[in-house]
């Protein structure tokens, strides 16, 4: 039975895709219900069941012509649950269970439920998803597939052209050519470091030692960021495809996907995806009759932020305590069990099939000179439209926050945007026109990080924010090296002092000194990037610190001991 | 309960017995301490004694307190704000602690308690029979205290055992370990699955896994304490997880946490006495658009009010 399902070549893949597409063309209506984490919390699952019931009850004849699709995150989480009706791609927002029968009824009559459409500021109704301002200014290369496929159905992915890049790479290209293509595309690591993926692959390929391992890092621990989950949960096959192509390029036969245990749905979806890919012969032995073998395993994390660091992650997969080590030898040369190990972020792998399919030049056509392609950000905090945003590199922060994000909530004043998770820094209003790419953000003292973007308004206290991040990092510090373990704790003491109104004049220089020490002397990136938040808040919001220290005032009225 | 007049006589007698003078200062200190219901530090004592006996100085108080403490008539009960607190010893007849360890003045038969070679049994100690009786009495009290303590521990352990009792057979653990191919490298996965099964990691299960995988128990505990997800204590029936991620923090996660701690009366990381609810915090749940988020028994809620929280918790009962 299972053998029958195996796909043997690019041609059979194309035929299958064509057949599936023709099948779908027969359908009268396709309801794509977003079942991402946020929409699920708004009881999207209930909507799906209500829809199925409604169809069973009242539309027996049309039943096979109507498709209900449970998809991954569409991105516009603020207005969930979302239903998109294809082929017209009508977008309904904030749908409730009671609206279901009306939606089905009107759709089959060719009408539109107007009250569930998006209304812009002037009261105009917007029907199509792509016309909504939130989507209009994005360039959704990776995320756009999310609404077109059922994340638990490999057929859907094959229908939209999935695994064709893999077939192309394996049957028409040599591993070196694949590697060269990725290198030419200048695909930089999306996990935060921004190290070119092609170069990393090459190092692993040329490193001595067999077997070689390849790992997907989906330990997305940054608070306020959920891009990787958006992809892995909504379109797990795209990551798998990228992973297999990567494995082919570097000559690895064993891969791991390290997923946080806090994302149970992601673990589930990835496991289902692997099972289906195995059934189709896309993972396993002799993939697409090429003689190339590859197997992949899911490793669940158990709640440790520092384990997302590459050397710590490899020890965690080995089944030990996930502590980082000194990296004078990189994991690409000596990683898992001392063997060459290539480690990339989810988003990096998801980009690979697109590069192989469309070519390096297409990829370089997006973004800036040194940072090509798109980047997904999770735009959260005090902004009107929260959600996942995919934009070409080089777009300004102002565009992201005001055009896509729709400005600040409740008409408040913008204060700062925090990028790059706890390791990043804050960016004040005067730098909002900064183009977003790896190098520019680093210059401003922050970093791109994995793509968290937390917007803060005037009611956020910068001293309190810095204290919050340091506390998070101190909590997550593994305690192996002294600067990080003790330095962070001392900084927290100083912050607590300032927040209680007992700050001293010399505290500011002391904080700066400690920050420099941490930057110089810490073992891994957790410690060396931890002071970013301290340094950037000190640089751009010094007057807030001074208000706390000299006048015992918290301008944002957050620090309770200072409120009179 | 306290009869001050009679009591003070006992203390006076005790002081005389020891061969100390009954100075006015000592009398005042004892009096103040006896009349105060709780514990006093030296400064408070000075303040109160000063009214009765204006000549008294703080240094005198300190000196005399030291003496009375040595004689076992006053107990030092601990530090509060870096100040020692003093309390009157309620049973002065038991006051033996330190003073009786000194060589007795009453001239006893030294040979009685020395060894064959004529050396004292213990340096600095020459006791008499009375001393031994006192020591016996103390050890009796101590053993009683230890008994109570073990009783308490027993009750606690029984509670745990009752919870462990559910996990008598290791069939499920066996299944999990075999599913992960008995491999050391899958240890974290095994522990994750075991915890999903029982909600926590009981000691004897860890012992069992250690034996089956031939991994030292320290390694297992190392992992179980390093990773945040593992619980080494019994968990409540329903878990309540409050998200403390940045996006939730900016939108008021602290207020939400205060609300829930107020209702449950426990700190994050603790379990209610009836093992119904365990409160935990997590650094990001990845649904930042809903923030501040709280998961109550696997259901997500966005910023519920106090009355809503109460309603939700009540339904779970």
pLDDT tens digits along A505-542: 899 999 999 999 999 999 888 899 999 999 999 999 99
Cβ neighbours of residue A408 closer than 8 Å, sequence gap 6 or more: A382, A383, A384, A401, A414, A455, A457
Tell me which residues of chain A, numbers 471 to 510, contact chain B at a CB-CB cutoff of 8 Å: 472, 475-476, 478
Q: Which two three-digit tokens encode residue A67?
A: 């498709």
Residues pairing with A83 in the sheet: A33, A92
Does residue A50 register a pLDDT over 70?
yes
Q: B197: which 2 tokens? A: 């099964």
What confidence score (pLDDT) does residue B122 get? 46
Of B192, B219, B286, the CB nearest to A261: B192
Residues of A within 8 A of B289 (CB-CB) are: 38, 77-78, 80, 380, 386-387
Interface probe, candidates A224, A457, A560, chain B, greatest B C-beta count within 10 A: A224
Contacts 24+ apart (CB under 8 A), A504-508: A504/A549, A505/A549, A505/A550, A507/A549, A508/A538, A508/A542, A508/A545, A508/A549
High-pLDDT (> 90) share of chain A, %:
46
Residues in A 143-182 with any Cβ partner in B closer than 8 A: none
Place of tokens 């009869």: B3
| CA nearest to B251 within chain A | A381
Q: Which residues contact A178 (CB under 8 A, 6 or more apart)?
A: A169, A245, A248, A249, A356
| Average pLDDT, integer, range B12-41 | 80
The conformational region for residue A238 under phi > 0 = left, psi -120 to 50 = alpha, else beta, is: alpha
DSSP annotation of A156 reads H
Q: 504-563 in A: which are within 8 Å (CB) of B?
A: none
- Note the pLDDT of residue A396: 92
Residue matched to tokens 């931890």 = A530
Residue B162 has what pLDDT? 67
| Token pair listed for B5 | 């007049």
Residue with tokens 């030296």: B42
**How do residues B191-239 score in pLDDT, each as one tens digit?**
999 888 888 888 888 888 998 888 999 999 999 999 888 988 888 888 8
List, for residues A327-370, the tens digit of each pLDDT value: 778 888 888 898 999 999 999 999 999 999 999 999 999 988 88
Find which of A49-63, A121-135, A202-216 is predicted with most confidence, using mean pLDDT.
Answer: A202-216
- Inter-chain touch A303–B229, beta carbons under 8 Å: yes
* A392, β-bridge pairs: A374
Q: Do A321 and B288 touch (CB under 8 A)?
A: no
* Best mutation target, B189, B230, B287, B312, to test chain A (most A CBs within 10 A): B287
**Banded model confidence at residue B125, pLDDT cuts 50, 70, 90:** very low
Residue of B nearest to A466 (CA): B246
> For chain A, how big is the Rg over CA atoms in Å?
25
Q: Among candidates A29, A276, A278, A314, which has minimal Cα distance to A157?
A: A276
d(C-alpha B206, C-alpha B191), whole Å: 9
pLDDT for position A339 = 92
Percentage of residues in chain B with pLDDT exceeding 90?
Answer: 9
Q: What is the rounded average pLDDT of the residues A266-277?
A: 93
Where b means 16+ CB within 10 Å and e means fewer, B295-312 reads: bbeeebbbbbeeeebeeb
Helix (H) or strand (E) holding A20: helix A10-25
Q: What is the pLDDT of residue A43?
A: 84
CA within 13 Å, CB half, B78: 2
CA B173, B174, B179, B183 torsion-angle sign:
positive
Residue A452 confidence (pLDDT) above 60: yes
Comparing CB atoms, the residue among A302, A454, A469 nearest residue B247 is A454
> Averaged over B113-134, what is the pLDDT?
52
pLDDT of residue B170: 78
Separation of alpha carbons A421 and A558, rounded Å: 21
How far apart are alpha carbons A30 and A152 in whole angstroms?
A: 16
Residue B277: enclosing H or E segment and its boundaries?
strand B277-282
How far is the first Cα of chain A from the last one, in angstroms, to the nearest whole number? 74
Interface check for B192 against chain A (CB to CB < 8 A): the answer is: yes
Contact call for A319 and B187, based on CB within 8 A: yes
B111 pLDDT above the threshold of 70: no
ipTM of the complex: 0.83
**pLDDT (0 to 100) of residue B121:** 43
Domains, chain B, with CATH or none: 4-124 (1.10.10.10), 168-226 (no CATH), 238-315 (3.40.30.10)
Q: What is the 3-class SS of B39-50, one letter each residue?
A: CEEHHHHHHHHH
**Pairing assessment for the beta strands B40-41 and A254-259 based on DSSP bridges:** unpaired
B303–chain A Cβ distance below 8 A for any pair: no
List the alpha helices (DSSP H) in A365-505: 397-398, 438-443, 462-476, 482-499
Q: Is B209 on the interface with A (CB under 8 A)?
A: no
Dihedral angle of Cα B237, B238, B239, B240, to the nearest 10 degrees: -150
Return the residue of B nearest to A381 by Cα. B247
Q: How many cross-chain Cβ pairs, A to B, lie less than 8 Å apart?
A: 131
pLDDT for residue B133 is more than 80: no
Return the pLDDT at B47.
80
Residue A369 makes CB contacts below 8 A (sequence gap 6+) with none
Binary contact (B287, A452; C-beta < 8 A): no
User: Given an 8 Å threshold on Cβ–Cβ distance, is B230 in contact with A302?
Assistant: yes
Assess whether pLDDT exceeds 50 at residue A205.
yes
Paired residues of A257 in beta bridges = A216, A298
Cβ neighbours, 10 Å, residue B208? 17
Is B287 close to A37, i.e. CB distance below 8 A?
Answer: yes
What is the reported pLDDT for B104? Answer: 47
Nearest Cα residue to A87 out of A159, A32, A151: A32
The shortest C-alpha distance from A322 to chain B (Å) reads 8
β-pair type (B83-88, B40-41): antiparallel
A302/B227 CB distance under 8 A: yes
pLDDT at B199: 84
Residue B15: CA count within 13 A, CB half-sphere: 22
Is A303 an 8 Å CB contact of chain B? yes
CA torsion through residues B252, B256, B259, B262, sign: negative
Interchain contact, A468 vs B249, CB within 8 Å: yes
Average the pLDDT over each of A440-454, B162-176, B196-210 and give the range with the smallest value.
B162-176
Q: Is the pLDDT of residue A2 over 60?
A: no
Which positions in chain B touch A387 (Cβ < 8 Å)? Answer: 289
CA distance B167 to chain A (A): 22
Collect all residues with Cβ–Cβ distance below 8 Å to B95 and sequence separation of at least 6.
B14, B71, B72, B73, B89
Q: Which region among A361-365, A496-500, B81-85 has the lowest average model confidence (pLDDT)?
A: B81-85
Kindly state the average pLDDT of the residues A83-90.
88
Q: Is the pLDDT of residue A458 over 60?
A: yes
- Is there a contact between A378 and B288 if contact means CB atoms under 8 Å apart? yes
Beta bridge partners of A455: A381, A417
Contact A305 B283 (CB under 8 A): yes
Please give the average per-residue pLDDT across A227-244, as a whole number. 92
Q: Which two tokens stand for residue A187?
A: 């695909």
Average pLDDT over residues A430-447: 88
- Nearest CA to A77 out of A107, A36, A43, A45 is that of A36
Average pLDDT over residues B114-121: 42
Is B167 part of the contact surface with chain A (CB cutoff 8 Å)? Answer: no
CB B246 within 8 A of CB B228: no
Please check the confidence at residue A34 and state whether its pLDDT lies above 60. yes
**pLDDT reading at B108 higher than 50:** no
Contact A86, A32 (CB under 8 A): yes
pTM above 0.95, yes or no: no
CB A154 within 8 Å of CB A277 = yes
Region B226-255: mean pLDDT is 87
Report CA Rg, chain B.
Answer: 30
**Phi/psi at A68 (5° precision):** -105, 125
Chain A contact for B189, CB < 8 A?
yes
Flag whether pLDDT at B1 surpasses 60. Answer: no
d(CA A501, CA A507): 12
Q: Per residue in A391-425, pLDDT tens?
A: 999 999 999 999 999 899 888 999 999 988 888 88
Surface-to-core class of residue A504, CB atoms within 10 Å of its CB (0-12 exposed, 13-18 middle, 19+ buried): exposed
Backbone angles phi, psi at A391, to 5 degrees: -130, 155
Q: Where is mean pLDDT largest: A456-460, B99-103, B233-237?
A: A456-460
Q: What are phi and psi of A379, to 5 degrees?
A: -90, 110
Q: Whole-angstrom Cα distance, residue B59 to residue B55?
A: 12
Arithmetic mean of pLDDT, A257-271: 90
Q: Which residue does chain B place closest to A460, by CA atoms? A: B250
pLDDT given at position B115: 41
Q: Where are the beta strands (DSSP E) in chain B?
A: 40-41, 74-80, 83-88, 238-243, 277-282, 293-296, 299-302
| Angstroms from B244 CA to nearest CA on chain A | 8
The answer to whether A468 contacts chain B (CB < 8 Å) is yes
| Banded model confidence at residue B103, pLDDT cuts 50, 70, 90 | very low
3-state secondary structure of A19: helix
Contacts of B308 (CB under 8 A, 6+ apart): B301
Is residue B107 within 8 Å of residue B68, measured between CB atoms? no
Reported as type and span, the H/E element at residue B161 is: helix B129-165
Secondary structure of residue A230 in the 3-state scheme: helix
* CA distance linking residue B195 with residue A261, whole number of Å: 12
Say which DSSP state A196 is in. B
CA distance B20 to B42: 21
3-state class (DSSP) for residue B86:
strand
pLDDT at A3: 53
Q: Is the pLDDT of residue B182 over 90?
A: no
Three-state SS at A259: strand
Per-residue pLDDT, A24: 86
Mean pLDDT of the residues in chain B = 78
Provide the chain A residues 204-243 that lie in CB contact (below 8 A) with chain B.
220-226, 229
Is residue B293 helix, strand or coil?
strand
A418 touches chain B (CB under 8 A): yes
- How high is the mean pLDDT of chain A? 89
Which residues of B are less than 8 Å from A37 in CB distance?
285-287, 300
Please give the average per-residue pLDDT across B18-25, as a whole number: 79
- The C-alpha of A302 sits at a distance from chain B's nearest C-alpha, in angstroms, of 5
């Amino acid at each position: 039975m299972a053998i029958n399902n195996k796909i043997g070549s690019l041609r059979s893949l194309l035929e299958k895709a064509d057949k599936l597409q023709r099948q779908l063309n027969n359908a009268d209506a396709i309801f794509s219900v977003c079942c991402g984490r946020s929409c699920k919390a708004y009881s999207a699952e209930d909507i799906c069941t209500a829809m199925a019931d409604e169809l069973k009850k009242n539309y027996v004849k049309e039943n096979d012509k109507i498709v209900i699709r449970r998809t991954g995150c569409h991105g516009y989480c603020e207005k969930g649950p979302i239903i998109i009706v294809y082929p017209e791609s009508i977008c309904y927002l904030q749908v409730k269970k009671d609206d279901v029968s009306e939606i089905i009824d009107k759709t089959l009559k060719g009408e539109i439920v107007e009250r569930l459409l998006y209304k812009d500021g002037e009261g105009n109704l917007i029907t199509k998803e792509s016309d909504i301002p939130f989507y209009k200014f994005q360039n959704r290369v990776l995320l756009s597939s999310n609404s077109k496929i059922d994340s638990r159905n490999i057929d859907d992915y094959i229908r939209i052209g999935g695994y064709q890049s893999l077939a192309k790479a394996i049957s028409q290209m040599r591993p070196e050519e694949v590697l060269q293509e990725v290198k030419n595309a200048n695909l930089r690591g999306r996990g935060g470091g921004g190290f070119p993926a092609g170069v990393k692959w090459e190092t692993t390929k040329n490193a001595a030692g067999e077997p070689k391992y390849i790992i997907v890092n989906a330990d997305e621990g940054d608070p306020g960021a959920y891009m990787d989950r958006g992809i892995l949960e909504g379109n797990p096959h795209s990551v798998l495809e990228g992973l297999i192509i990567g494995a082919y390029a570097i000559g690895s036969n064993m891969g791991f996907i390290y997923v946080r245990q806090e994302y149970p749905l992601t673990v589930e979806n990835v496991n289902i995806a692997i099972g289906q890919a195995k059934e189709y012969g896309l993972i396993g032995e002799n993939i697409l009759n090429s003689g190339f073998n590859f197997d992949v395993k899911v490793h669940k994390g158990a709640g440790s932020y520092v384990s997302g660091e590459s050397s710590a992650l490899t020890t965690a997969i080995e089944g030990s305590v996930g502590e980082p080590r000194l990296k004078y030898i990189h994991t690409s040369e000596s990683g898992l069990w001392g063997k060459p190990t290539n480690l990339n972020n989810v988003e990096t792998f998801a980009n690979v099939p697109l590069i192989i399919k469309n070519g390096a030049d297409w990829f370089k056509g997006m973004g800036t000179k040194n940072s090509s392609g798109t980047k997904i950000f999770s735009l959260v905090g005090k902004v009107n439209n929260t959600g996942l945003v995919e934009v070409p590199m080089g777009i300004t922060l102002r565009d992201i926050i005001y055009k896509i994000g729709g400005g600040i909530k409740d008409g408040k004043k913008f204060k700062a945007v925090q990028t790059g998770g706890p390791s990043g820094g804050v960016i004040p209003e005067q730098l909002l026109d900064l183009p977003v790419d790896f190098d520019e953000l680093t210059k401003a003292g922050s970093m791109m990080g994995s793509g968290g973007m937390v917007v803060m308004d005037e009611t956020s206290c910068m001293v309190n924010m810095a204290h919050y991040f340091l506390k998070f990092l101190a909590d997550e510090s593994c305690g192996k090296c002294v600067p990080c373990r003790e330095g962070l704790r001392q900084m927290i003491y100083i912050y607590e002092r300032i927040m209680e109104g007992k700050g001293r004049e010399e505290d500011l220089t002391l904080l700066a000194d400690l920050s420099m020490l941490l930057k110089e002397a810490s073992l891994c990136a957790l410690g060396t990037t931890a002071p970013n938040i301290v340094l950037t808040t000190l640089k751009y919001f010094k007057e807030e610190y001074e208000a706390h220290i000299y006048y015992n005032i918290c301008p944002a009225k957050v620090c309770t001991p200072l409120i009179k | 309960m306290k009869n001050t007049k009679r009591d003070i006589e006992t203390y006076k007698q005790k002081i005389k017995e020891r061969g100390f003078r009954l100075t006015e200062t000592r009398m005042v200190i004892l009096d103040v301490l006896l009349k105060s219901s709780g514990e006093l530090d030296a400064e408070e004592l000075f303040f109160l004694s000063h009214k009765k006996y204006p000549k008294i100085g703080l240094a005198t108080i300190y000196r005399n307190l030291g003496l009375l403490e040595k004689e076992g008539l006053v107990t030092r009960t601990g530090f509060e704000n870096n100040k020692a607190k003093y309390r009157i010893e309620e049973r002065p007849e038991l006051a033996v602690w330190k003073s009786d360890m000194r060589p007795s003045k009453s001239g006893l038969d030294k040979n009685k308690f020395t060894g064959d070679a004529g050396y004292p049994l213990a340096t600095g100690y020459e006791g008499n029979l009375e001393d031994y009786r006192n020591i016996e009495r103390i050890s009796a009290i101590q053993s009683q205290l230890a008994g109570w303590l073990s009783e308490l521990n027993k009750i606690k352990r029984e509670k745990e055992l009752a919870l462990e009792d559910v996990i008598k057979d290791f069939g499920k653990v066996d299944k999990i370990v075999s599913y992960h191919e008995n491999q050391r490298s899958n240890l974290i996965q095994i522990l994750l699955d075991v915890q999903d099964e029982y909600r926590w990691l009981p000691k004897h299960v860890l012992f069992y896994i250690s034996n089956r995988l031939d991994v030292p128990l320290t390694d297992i505990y190392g992992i179980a304490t390093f990773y945040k997800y593992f619980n080494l204590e019994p968990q409540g029936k329903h878990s309540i997880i409050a998200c403390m991620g940045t996006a939730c923090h900016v939108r008021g996660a602290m207020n939400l946490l205060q609300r829930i701690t107020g209702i449950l009366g426990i700190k994050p990381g603790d379990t209610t006495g009836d093992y119904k609810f365990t409160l935990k915090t997590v650094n990001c749940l990845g649904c930042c658009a809903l923030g501040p988020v709280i998961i109550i028994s696997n259901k997500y809620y966005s910023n519920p009010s106090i009355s809503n929280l109460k309603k939700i918790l009540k339904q779970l009962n």
